[in-house]
Amino acid sequence: MKKIGFTISFLLLHVYFCAAQEKDNEQGSVENVKREYMSRELGLSPDEARKFWPMYNNYFNEVKMARKQFGNDEVAMDEKMVEIRKKYKNNFRSILSSDNRVNKVFVSEKNFRELVKKESLDRQRRKKYPAQKPPKQATRQKN
């Protein structure tokens, strides 16, 4: 009986750790895609990228902490976001050297979030309603 309990426990832990590892891999993958997307959108040179990404990671960590801190308080969250963006705007300007590119940081970040959200919803929909084979299109016969 102890062997069966041990085996079941082992299998449950194995499934748990595999699922956690898969989630970590997905998160890393999304971060890599985000990095590539934003680098392309901002037109970062290798030197700019080397300076930009540590600064952006600091910015993003502050945003995540603010989301945790303010949770459901939308007004306080909006105020904190404005404060954080103003703080980092000058830092980004020193690297990107143009207000247009600095504003593009925030715009491309928002666009990326929307793309990820759309992709996530699409995947959920496809999982819930698997695609049926598309109907064959009639082929035109030559006369």
Q: Determine the pLDDT at residue 114.
A: 92
Q: Determine the pLDDT at residue 35.
A: 93
- DSSP state at residue 98: S
pTM, rounded to two decimals: 0.67
* pLDDT tens digits along 99-109: 999 999 999 99
pLDDT grade for 21, boundaries at 50, 70 and 90: very low
Tokens, residue 14:
């194995």
* pLDDT tens digits along 68-95: 998 889 999 999 999 999 999 999 999 9
Distance of CA 44 to the CA centre of its chain: 19
> Is the model more confident about 27 or about 21?
27
Cβ neighbors of 116 (< 8 A, separation 6 or more) are: 30
Write out the E strands in 41-130: none
Q: Determine the pLDDT at residue 17.
A: 44
The answer to whether 55 and 88 have CB atoms below 8 angstroms apart is yes
Cβ neighbors of 76 (< 8 A, separation 6 or more) are: 70
The answer to whether 105 and 56 have CB atoms below 8 angstroms apart is yes
Q: Determine the pLDDT at residue 15.
A: 47
Q: Determine the pLDDT at residue 9.
A: 44
Q: Rounded to an integer, what distance in angstroms lies between the CA atom of residue 14 and that of residue 132?
A: 34
The answer to whether 99 and 93 have CB atoms below 8 angstroms apart is yes
